[in-house]
Chain A
Amino acid sequence: MKKYTDTGKKDTRSGFGAGLYEAGKADNRIVALTADLKGSLKMDAFANEFPERFFQCGIAEANMAGAAAGLAITGKIPFIGSFAEFVTGRIYDQIRQEIAYGKTNVKIASSHAGITLGEDGATHQTMEDIALMRALPDMVVINPCDYNQTKAATIAAAKYDGPVYLRFGRPSVPNFTEEDKPFVIGKADVMTEGKDVTIIATGHMVWEALQAAEILESEGICAEVINVATIKPLDEKTIIASAIKTKAVVVAEEHNMAGGLGELVAGVLAATVPTPMGFINGKDLFGQTGTPAELLKAYGLDAANIADAARKVLARK
């Protein structure tokens, strides 16, 4: 089985900051807006280098979304940045009307997503955001897995003409994908090839899925791990091919069941190759205060639980 090495823990939001800076250097149409979270979104490098293309909006996310749409209408490529909850749930209508409906070229940079935001607690932890953004016609939804992939996805989002929801997180996590590997929107990556069970994961759960595959390997179970960084449009072909091969699928995500990747994959497989499935996600719960590690354990979002789900689904083959 192909092994991945953590080259040093980094936060995915720093991958966004690095990608934004690089994209901004390459294309002067790129502008960035934030609602009082420049530092948290790691936008400093961009803001310092291109002050005339950086717009502080204050704590007013609704206006930020509308102003970004206006900038996009004039041909700019705006990135708006805030915490995941505040650039989705708080301003869902603005995103729908001003950005998604017109296929307006705005990129929604969504940091501190999921439960691993940690100590701030339930008010700031969203595990509903993918559902909200997925529901919008023509919205591209990307949830990269580590620093390198987040940087590459940011650059790809900047080059794509249309609305993109780009989701990343707060904590330092393993950085294990290839550096500067171009990100292809809509393409899933088969991380390890396997024959017994498929583990489909997105975001922070990809590393956990790889750890789960190692646990399973020690038990003689050969797991295929697929990194689905683009949730919409979904790489159905790769997923269906893997399900046909392994006949057992687990989906792991740092998001609730409702409207998440698990439901999405279940819908695709139900309509094509009905397959026994297991789900690792935030179920139907709000978050709470704790360290990211404590929370992942408490909500069952880790390698041990993914491996367990794989064993259970294998038994149903």
Chain B
Amino acid sequence: MATIEELQKTATQVRRDIVRMVTAAKSGHPGGSLSSTDILTALYLEVMNHDPKTWTRDGKNQDVFIISAGHMTPVYYSVLARTGYFPVSELATFRKFGTRLQGHPSIRKGLPGITQTSGSLGQGLSAAAGIALGKRLDKDNNFVYVLCGDGESEEGQIWEAGMFAVFHKLDNLIAMTDWNGQQIDGTVDSVAGEGDLELKWKAFGWNTIVADGHDFESILSAFKAAKANKGTGKPTMILFKTEMGHGVDFMAGTCKWHGKAPSEEQCAEAMKQLQETLGDF
């Protein structure tokens, strides 16, 4: 059991990793990675039943996590490394030729912890639903978690999967949306007029929970409620209210850092705001 303080310590180091990885690679997606850092930190340190030592792609006898918004590799790789899936030092290879840490998660490169390729948006929820079906067939009682973006949810396939999971009563499926309100071209409402995701997911028949994605108590209680929902026949969607670029003042609350690398100077500025807690890679 990690304390809230320990979760915060890890999340701060993960945020350092994100900014340093993207700076070193001179490309990548820091904005959404920083907004979903607290969610993934809580998930991997506290919520999920998983063991990097026995992990296999088929997810047998463990919880499974899929990142549907595949561009959020900086946070994903950092959390995987910090929880023991591969050496932390390997984070230095992010986006470099020959790396297992491809720009978007690659199933071909054999990076431990990666269950499915993603990056072409809107597809991870379907894969997660399929895994949830497979677990039910296998009488494996573990959960399947999937993280989507709010911008990503403009893809029609998200809503196809939304119908499918309810129709097949996948209450072992816990989906999350990093509801940061930003996408590449601007705010989600100015780009696509997506509207109220809470109303939409409720209308699709999901057990819908809204939580503060930067408050560990709120995050943990949302996951607790999602797990307790098993047995109702409904899948769960946790809408985490977050801020793009959270934790670095000049990146926060704007779409400008969705997919842009900071300069060395900007990175140094960010490092002043994020204390090294677990040792840099």
Q: Which B residue's beta carbon lies closest to that of A102?
A: B107
Say yes or no: A67 contacts B133, CB within 8 Å. yes
Q: Which A residue's beta carbon lies closest to that of B115?
A: A73
Residues of B86-128 contacting chain A, CB below 8 A: 106-108, 115-120, 122-128
Q: Which B residue's beta carbon lies closest to that of A74?
A: B134
Asked if A62 meets B157 with Cβ closer than 8 Å, knowing A67-B126, A74-B58, the reply is yes
Binds B, one of A91-99, A276-284, A300-308: A91-99
Residue A311 is within 8 A (CB to CB) of chain B in the complex: no
Find chain B residues with CB under 8 A from A104 CB: 107
Considering residues B60, B119, B122, B134, which has the most beta carbons from chain A within 10 angstroms of its beta carbon?
B134
- Interface size of A as a range: 20 to 34
Q: Which A residue's beta carbon lies closest to that of B161?
A: A63
Residue A60 is within 8 A (CB to CB) of chain B in the complex: yes
Main secondary structure on chain A at its contact with chain B?
A: helix
Say yes or no: A66 contacts B118, CB within 8 Å. no
Say yes or no: A70 contacts B160, CB within 8 Å. no
How many Å from the CB of A73 to the closest CB on chain B? 6
Say yes or no: B160 contacts A74, CB within 8 Å. no
Q: Which A residue's beta carbon lies closest to that of B125?
A: A66
Residue B246 is within 8 A (CB to CB) of chain A in the complex: no
Say yes or no: B164 contacts A73, CB within 8 Å. no
Considering residues A70, A97, A102, which has the most beta carbons from chain B within 10 angstroms of its beta carbon?
A70
Find chain B residues with CB under 8 A from A64 CB: 126
Residue A219 is within 8 A (CB to CB) of chain B in the complex: no
Which residue in B59, B116, B132, B167 is a CB contact (below 8 Å) of A98? B116
Residues of A91-117 contacting chain B, CB below 8 A: 93-94, 96-98, 101-104
Q: What CA separation (Å) do A72 and B131 show in the bound complex?
A: 8
Main secondary structure on chain B at its contact with chain A?
A: helix
How many Å from the CB of B63 to the closest CB on chain A? 13
Which residue in A63, A76, A97 is a CB contact (below 8 Å) of B134? A76
Residue A58 is within 8 A (CB to CB) of chain B in the complex: yes
Q: Which A residue's beta carbon lies closest to that of B123?
A: A66
Say yes or no: B123 contacts A97, CB within 8 Å. yes
Residues of B129-164 contacting chain A, CB below 8 A: 129-135, 137-138, 156-157, 160-161, 163-164
Residue B57 is within 8 A (CB to CB) of chain A in the complex: yes
Q: Which A residue's beta carbon lies closest to that of B155?
A: A62
Residues of A33-80 contacting chain B, CB below 8 A: 52-53, 55-58, 60, 62-76, 78
Q: What CA separation (Å) do A96 and B126 show in the bound complex?
A: 15
Find chain A residues with CB under 8 A from B200 CB: none
Say yes or no: A71 contacts B134, CB within 8 Å. yes
Which residue in A69, A96, A101 is a CB contact (below 8 Å) of B127? A69
Q: Which A residue's beta carbon lies closest to that of B138?
A: A74
Q: Which B residue's beta carbon lies closest to that of A33?
A: B130
How many Å from the CB of A29 to the closest CB on chain B? 9
Q: What CA separation (Å) do A122 and B250 show in the bound complex?
A: 54
Asked if A66 meets B126 with Cβ closer than 8 Å, knowing A71-B131, A74-B134, A94-B157, the reply is yes
Residue B168 is within 8 A (CB to CB) of chain A in the complex: yes
Say yes or no: A70 contacts B116, CB within 8 Å. yes
How many Å from the CB of B202 to the closest CB on chain A? 20
Which residue in B108, B115, B133, B160 is a CB contact (below 8 Å) of A71? B133
Asked if A75 meets B126 with Cβ closer than 8 Å, knowing A98-B116, A102-B107, the reply is no
Say yes or no: B58 contacts A67, CB within 8 Å. no
Asked if A76 meets B137 with Cβ closer than 8 Å, knowing A94-B157, A97-B120, the reply is yes
Which residue in A55, A78, A93, A102 is a CB contact (below 8 Å) of B120? A93
Find chain B residues with CB under 8 A from A63 CB: 126, 129, 157, 160-161, 163-164
Find chain B residues with CB under 8 A from A98 CB: 116-117, 123, 126-127
Asked if A75 meets B116 with Cβ closer than 8 Å, knowing A69-B127, A94-B123, the reply is no
How many Å from the CB of A28 to the closest CB on chain B? 9
Find chain B residues with CB under 8 A from A76 CB: 134, 137
Q: Which B residue's beta carbon lies closest to that of A94?
A: B123
Say yes or no: A75 contacts B58, CB within 8 Å. yes
Which residue in A31, A52, A57, A101 is a CB contact (below 8 Å) of B107? A101
Asked if A70 meets B58 with Cβ closer than 8 Å, knowing A101-B107, A102-B117, the reply is no
Say yes or no: A74 contacts B127, CB within 8 Å. no
Which residue in A66, A75, A97, A103 is a CB contact (below 8 Å) of B161? A66
Which residue in A60, A69, A70, A96 is a CB contact (below 8 Å) of B163? A60
Asked if A60 meets B160 with Cβ closer than 8 Å, knowing A67-B129, A74-B138, A75-B58, the reply is yes
Find chain A residues with CB under 8 A from B168 CB: 55
Q: Which 9 A/B pairs are nearest by Cβ-Cβ distance?
A: A70-B130, A66-B126, A74-B134, A63-B160, A67-B130, A60-B160, A102-B107, A70-B131, A70-B127
Kindly list 7 other residue pairs between chains A and B, CB separation below 8 angstroms, not including A31-B137, A65-B126: A63-B163, A67-B133, A73-B58, A73-B130, A74-B134, A94-B157, A96-B120
Interface residues of A (CB under 8 A from B): 31, 52-53, 55-58, 60, 62-76, 78, 93-94, 96-98, 101-104
A-B contact pairs, 6 of them (CB 8 A): A60-B163, A66-B126, A67-B127, A72-B130, A76-B137, A102-B107
